[in-house]
Structure 1
């Protein structure tokens, strides 16, 4: 059995040694025993990860479906009158002309109005990030996350009505959707602080947040198909209804902590609580001054800001780029816009397991793993996104570079995105 003389030595040793390989752990003058690792299959923590995956699937499906639907909601002539680049790339004359539904109402919104509609979501989204984290920390994240997505689903169901009333109403509804979604990531982080053992943190969070990419991958082409064969209004009705169904499952099957879970096994509960025992603080006072002076915190802020700048720009405007510049129709648009996020989803799942493996089996320190994955996840996307700007009308190369850029960004999910819990687990 190992012993240590100071808390700093405890932290360093636990960071570099496989925690699960040590059955007896000492912290200061206190010794406790970590139970054997509980298998992932059918466990409560992985059930939470799967439900969270579907929750973030719905979160992003509700967020991005407008990007494709808007292509079909707007008169093409309204867009092209103010878009001097529309004639740069020729039409796809070889594309098969399939009969499609064209009964949906069209709106005469120019490019500026469309831009306000697409970006209005983030007006509400930015307002609830910090309050959401504070509320989740004090009262738990289950209901906060659940009602955040439920509210977004309800406002999605109201989107066709808002569009019919006018662009201003649609902008307001989208801002309210963002207001609801803003609390979801802080709420999920608060829940994982009570559920994720340190050496499973990368894979559990990567699995749950992979729902973001999966929701994008599915909703973009499905929205295109719905617009093509039904009507754009059904994009909002179908995804809004699915969001309500998810909330019902989340409400009855999930708990804020292992202690309050009704069906968790005693062995899994003991395993989770033991591995987190030395990390969770009972102090509820938030050290605001210390937080603002923390350089690791500001490093995360800069990394998060940099990644989100390109990620959300592409997420919001890629379907418009596919239509107005590369001249793909609404059906092709949905599938091609989804390709980058399919690659990112795969990358997140794989790198999450690799990151935990590097810590658990090969004794990489936490900080080394986070820096390695964050470097790949930042530099790679920048290179390929810059290259995409020089492809001109080479459709294949443009799609390939955009796909590679977003795919490699999946590395950063095991970098900055999990580092929040590393530096402030409670």
Structure 2
């Protein structure tokens, strides 16, 4: 790729060679979403992640009913302890569920064991998806936890070690689900519909948590805690049957997709490899996890101040992406280098989570939710106006035009980094002090 020299218009054939390799040259008419194979996939994924998170969080509710009440503590309660709130309907609580004498430490190990398995298969999940396909990996990533959930009551009866092992195995299964789903969308999601399709599919996770927590409590109260695992486990198995029957790894192998939709998806992806497009976001996710551990280690083990850690990671997470974003405009037609630079740029952006991203909790713990809502509202503005501005600046899709877009984005990053470095704080602000948070970081 060559930038136009002297601001002169280029001949049509030269301008054609000056196109960015990351965007297609024309926009095709979209295929209706209603009853389409790609939106059916999003809907099935929605229910899959709904079940997935229900399987993940149901134990946290059921465990309360599985553990014996500490009667000695109950006898020694004082007037300062609130009495149990009576049921408004005065319906007797079910007491047929078996109880176990697990202390607080044991309960902690039981609840945390899931994540020991979950963290192991996160990164291998993306590799496995490329080998066995996202359909099977995601399908079994939900079926395995569902089956082990069905065996949870038996494992609890056999002993706490068996229950912990079951939860670890559930985590191993669930760990591959998000990488597998991303791998599937790399073949299914047209670039201009990715946000909609991914938001539909992943929204099931949040709804699964919202629904399963109170529903698990109702089941424990009126029926028996074992049915929490039987019901949600059975739902997972049922979902798996629909998933295997209705879903295909790619549009080419789908039995019921219309020829028009197949052509639309394939033509929209032919100049932009979906898996490569997902690489930057995968890198960002890795950096978020890793830098979170490093940031807390710097504060706890090496006694770095909170403000020093926040400013350091903010500078890395904003200046680093700016540098590689600008550099991406000067690499010619090297596709590999373009993907590498954009991946590094987006990945480094993940450092900001351990920088300004959690600074709300440092400066105003009592108002962190409100502050996040305010800042996140402002953060959506670039997503709204960015595409409009980029489109208005790239009428001819030349390298020179895209360099201007990259300069603007890098300048915004640089301004934000400098502003935070000058005015950022790591201490609780005076206006945010109340009875709950009278400490300094």
TM-score (norm 1): 0.63
Aligned equivalents of 1:243 and 1:391: distance in 2? 41
Change (3 A) 1:37 1:184: same
Change (3 A) 1:71 1:189: same
Residue 20 of structure 2: aligned partner: 10
Residue 200 of structure 2: aligned partner: 207
Aligned equivalents of 2:28 and 2:342: distance in 1? 37
Gaps of 5+ in 2: 1-11, 280-335, 359-368, 392-404, 417-427
Q: 1:192-271 residue pairs with structure 2 within 5 A?
A: 192-271=185-264
User: Deviations along 1:235-293, whole A, 9 cap, x unmatched?
Assistant: 0011111110000000010011111111111221121112212111899xx99996999
Residue 181 of structure 1: aligned partner: 174
Aligned equivalents of 1:292 and 1:360: distance in 2? 17
Match of 2:156 among 119, 139, 163: 163
Following TM superposition, by how much is the alpha carbon of 1:297 offset from its aligned partner in structure 2, in angstroms?
1.8
Residues 1:299 and 2:292 aligned together: no
Aligned equivalents of 1:389 and 1:242: distance in 2? 45
Q: Is the 8 A contact 1:74 1:106 kept in 2?
A: yes
| Secondary structure of the corresponding residue to residue 70 of structure 2 | helix
Q: Is the 8 A contact 1:45 1:195 kept in 2?
A: yes
| Secondary structure of the corresponding residue to residue 76 of structure 1 | coil
Following TM superposition, by how much is the alpha carbon of 1:6 offset from its aligned partner in structure 2, in angstroms?
7.6
User: Deviations along 1:367-399, whole A, 9 cap, x unmatched?
Assistant: 97xx99xx9xxxxxxx9xxx899669xxxxxxx
Q: Is the 8 A contact 1:57 1:211 kept in 2?
A: yes
User: Deviations along 1:191-222, whole A, 9 cap, x unmatched?
Assistant: 00111111211111010000001111111111
Following TM superposition, by how much is the alpha carbon of 1:295 offset from its aligned partner in structure 2, in angstroms?
4.2
Following TM superposition, by how much is the alpha carbon of 1:78 offset from its aligned partner in structure 2, in angstroms?
7.7
Q: Is the 8 A contact 1:202 1:355 kept in 2?
A: no
Q: Is the 8 A contact 1:34 1:271 kept in 2?
A: no
Following TM superposition, by how much is the alpha carbon of 1:296 offset from its aligned partner in structure 2, in angstroms?
2.2
TM-score (norm 2): 0.61
Residue 113 of structure 1: aligned partner: 106
Residues 1:91 and 2:66 aligned together: no
Aligned equivalents of 2:51 and 2:172: distance in 1? 16
Of the two, which has the highest radius of gyration? 2
Residue 74 of structure 1: aligned partner: 67
| Secondary structure of the corresponding residue to residue 68 of structure 1 | helix
Aligned equivalents of 2:354 and 2:269: distance in 1? 26
Change (3 A) 1:49 1:104: same
Q: Is the 8 A contact 2:186 2:274 kept in 1?
A: no
Aligned equivalents of 2:195 and 2:79: distance in 1? 46
User: Deviations along 1:81-133, whole A, 9 cap, x unmatched?
Assistant: 9xx9x997623556534311111011111111111000100111111111111
Q: Is the 8 A contact 1:148 1:184 kept in 2?
A: yes
Change (3 A) 1:37 1:6: same
Q: Is the 8 A contact 1:163 1:169 kept in 2?
A: yes
Q: Return the structure number with greater relative CO, CA threshold 8 A, min gap 6.
A: 1
Aligned equivalents of 2:108 and 2:100: distance in 1? 14
Aligned equivalents of 1:291 and 1:121: distance in 2? 35
Residue 396 of structure 2: aligned partner: none
Aligned equivalents of 1:133 and 1:8: distance in 2? 33
User: In the comparison of the two structures, how many residue pairs are matched?
Assistant: 318
Residue 294 of structure 2: aligned partner: none
Q: Is the 8 A contact 1:291 1:297 kept in 2?
A: no
Q: Is the 8 A contact 2:49 2:204 kept in 1?
A: yes
Match of 1:134 among 127, 134, 152: 127
Change (3 A) 1:243 1:104: same
Change (3 A) 1:360 1:241: same
Q: 1:376-387 residue pairs with structure 2 within 5 A?
A: none
Residue 293 of structure 2: aligned partner: none
Aligned equivalents of 2:180 and 2:198: distance in 1? 13
| Secondary structure of the corresponding residue to residue 90 of structure 1 | coil
Residue 313 of structure 2: aligned partner: none
Following TM superposition, by how much is the alpha carbon of 1:359 offset from its aligned partner in structure 2, in angstroms?
6.3
Change (3 A) 1:276 1:231: same
Aligned equivalents of 2:173 and 2:254: distance in 1? 25
Change (3 A) 1:202 1:299: same
Match of 1:150 among 135, 143, 149: 143
